[in-house]
Structure 1
Amino acid sequence: MNDLSAQAPKAAQAGNTVTIVPEAEIAGLMTPEAAFDAVEATFAAMARGDAYNFPVIREAIGHADALYGFKSGFDRESLALGLKSGGYWPGNEARGLTNHQSTVILFDADTGRPSALVGGNLLTALRTAAASAVSIRYLARQDAKVLGMIGAGHQSAFQMRAAVQQRSFEKVVGWNYHPEMLSRLADTAAELGLPFEAVTLEELGAQADVIVTITSSFAPSLLDAHVRPGTHLACMGTDTKGKQEVEAGLLARARVFTDEVAQSVTLGEAQHAVAEGLTSADDITQLGAVINGTHPGRTSDQEITMFDGTGVGLQDLAVAAAVVRLAREQGVASQVVL
């Protein structure tokens, strides 16, 4: 018999079932609390050496002014394997779409076969906010009362909601390049039952105990002179070569933590301080080391701590894997056979 398909092993002939969780289902499945837990566990696994990210690919595609790329990795502990594909399309808002577009693809770590396709837009917002929230939980002063927000884009509301769960904040102060957008911060603060004040950067630094920066700036807005001792900063906007939210000198004065050191010094906030010789990779600590108890984190109430949140693929895989489990449990996932 010369029928090759008949000779093939049955397992090879069998279809592969892939779970699909569309973007529309994510809001009903993934909570900020679940995102926090997934990201916290990922940081800890990375610091133990149980999980690692692959090199990031991020390119301007020469069409629609878009940036497109891949983030991927593997967690040997949870067996999360996969990638997030997507980027930034600045013209999408005019089309009624989100400028940031992403999709997560998960693979079976035992066979390499695709196991899930998950809408990644909301998940990206939730995991980014969770990352800064984890840094606040482990690094901010316990008596922090004023939250400072720099940036009022779509992500800022997620950041504020996640941050206020970590300390007993009594007030939010905010600044944005475009003041007309500050209503988003004011509305979110009101939703959370907190007063909001629009301030200058000098006033923000003078008042805030915790500062979250979430802009797409290529020039620093927050200066070293603006930040007082004891502040914790979560710098979440710099994830590409050339971007910068804070003055490089601030990293020389602060104790700096990050999700992944290699990304921090090449495409994160630390890239500029390294280029100017103000700091080096050896001066930066993985946040997971604090979570695991192998690094003390903040050592005094006067110390400035900074989290350089570059965003790693393992965070995306962790929240996607969690949402796939929830979707299967609640019967809202679709399944197709490839």
Structure 2
Amino acid sequence: MIVVPEAACPSLLSLDDAFAPVEAVFAAMARGDATNFPVVREALGGAEEALYGFKGGYDRAGATLGLKAGGYWPHNLAHRQLTNHQSTVFLFDPETGRPTAMVGGNYLTAARTAAASSVSIKHLARPDARVLGMVGAGHQAVFQLRAALRQRPFERVVGWNRDPDRLSRLAEVAGEAGLPFEAVSLDRLGAEADVIVTIASSFAPILAAAQVRPGTHLACMGTDTKGKQEVDSTLLARATVFTDEIAQSVTIGEAQHAVAAGLIRAADITPLGAVINGTHPGRASPDQITLFDGTGVGLQDLAVAARVVALAKAAGLAAEVAF
């Protein structure tokens, strides 16, 4: 079995490296060549307020089988100087069931989540999108911003966060890309941004439907669990909604509230892979609001883990242990 430790992953897998496997997984899911298994996600309770669970699946096209175990510990960074998201990916041989790899999943989770929103921007945002809006400024937001900037020739970045001081990290990333950054109100962000990425752990809507102008593409990428909500439910009724996995979108994703309220149906939601495969046209007009509900499927984790294992082998950094 190959072991790729957490510390080795960032130097092995770039955000560009993560993009192609995630895009391919979306396409395979839409074709019926890859299946996500039911998600197990539970609140551990107690002072830690942690969420823990398992996401797995089988990609026949990519010959990838496995699972990711982990979750979200909201107090890690403040109390232990550890990343709040903690996870490990396990890969198995589809033909024999034998374990083939154990890979640190913290960086990979951030990379594949950023790649997923980046794929949605590539396929759904207006070609003339020039202003990028960021809602949230946590650890994951930096990855989201870097990945999004690869998909359109953005000219500036605007951002909002409950704690405005934390926006400095986004300003630094924008500056590295040679772009101006401005902290703004949610009203201004919605009025000015052509693409909006929401990346917040929220159980109440942050962005109202009235704040989003026609033609906007939104990628809602915050932590997904029962009750999560980043945008007002009525926004999903105004938008054409896409997702990675419909079953997750309506149960633990951004669409759960809109579906429960009868504003949209599961049948109204389109897998992003259908756009990638060309069986759905995607954006139909410049004024259309498109919304990608990124719920974070296990197949994404397996795809980037398999990629990092291949890169580790090529670089001579994969440790092999008998198991």
SS of 1:129's equivalent in the other structure is helix
> Which residues in structure 2 correspond to 1:55-204 (within 5 Å)?
55-63=38-46, 64-93=48-77, 94-204=79-189
SS of 2:321's equivalent in the other structure is strand
String of CA shifts for 1:92-123, please: whole Å, max 9, x gaps. 21112111100000001010010000000000
8 Å CA contact 1:135, 1:307 repeated in 2:
yes
Aligned equivalents of 1:238 and 1:155: distance in 2? 10
Aligned counterpart in structure 2 of residue 51 of structure 1, from 25, 30, 34: 34
Partner AA of 1:61 in structure 2: L
Cross-structure match for 1:211: 196
SS of 1:142's equivalent in the other structure is coil
Partner AA of 1:320 in structure 2: A
Q: Calculate the aligned-residue CA RMSD, in Å.
A: 0.8
SS of 1:85's equivalent in the other structure is strand
8 Å CA contact 1:123, 1:320 repeated in 2:
yes
Aligned equivalents of 1:90 and 1:245: distance in 2? 17
SS of 1:148's equivalent in the other structure is strand
Aligned equivalents of 2:104 and 2:82: distance in 1? 14
Cross-structure match for 2:214: 229
String of CA shifts for 1:174-206, please: whole Å, max 9, x gaps. 000111211111111111111001110000011
Cross-structure match for 1:22: 5
1:90 Cα deviation from its structure 2 partner: 2.2
Aligned equivalents of 1:62 and 1:139: distance in 2? 38
Aligned equivalents of 1:284 and 1:172: distance in 2? 29
1:65 Cα deviation from its structure 2 partner: 2.3
Aligned equivalents of 1:279 and 1:90: distance in 2? 31
SS of 2:100's equivalent in the other structure is strand
Aligned equivalents of 1:109 and 1:127: distance in 2? 22
Percentage of pairs with the same residue? 70
Partner AA of 2:161 in structure 1: N
Cross-structure match for 1:4: none
Partner AA of 1:271 in structure 2: Q
Q: 1:238 to 1:96 in 2, by over 3 A?
A: closer
TM-score, normalised to structure 1's length? 0.94
Aligned equivalents of 1:124 and 1:73: distance in 2? 15
Cross-structure match for 1:280: 265
TM-score, normalised to structure 2's length? 0.98
Q: How many residues align?
A: 321
Aligned equivalents of 2:59 and 2:236: distance in 1? 30
Aligned equivalents of 2:55 and 2:93: distance in 1? 17
4+ runs deviating over 4 angstroms: none
1:91 Cα deviation from its structure 2 partner: 2.7
Aligned equivalents of 2:290 and 2:301: distance in 1? 25
1:28 Cα deviation from its structure 2 partner: 1.3
Aligned equivalents of 1:220 and 1:61: distance in 2? 24
Aligned equivalents of 1:152 and 1:102: distance in 2? 21
String of CA shifts for 1:131-164, please: whole Å, max 9, x gaps. 0000000000000000000000000010000001
8 Å CA contact 1:238, 1:267 repeated in 2:
no
1:61 Cα deviation from its structure 2 partner: 2.0
Aligned equivalents of 1:125 and 1:322: distance in 2? 15
1:80 Cα deviation from its structure 2 partner: 0.5
8 Å CA contact 1:232, 1:304 repeated in 2:
yes
* More off after superposition, 88-97 vs 52-61: 88-97
Aligned equivalents of 1:149 and 1:206: distance in 2? 13
SS of 1:27's equivalent in the other structure is helix
Based on CA coordinates, which of the two structures has the bigger radius of gyration? 1
Aligned equivalents of 2:315 and 2:289: distance in 1? 44
Structure 2 spans left out of the alignment, 5+ residues: none
Structure 1 spans left out of the alignment, 5+ residues: 1-17
1:329 Cα deviation from its structure 2 partner: 1.2
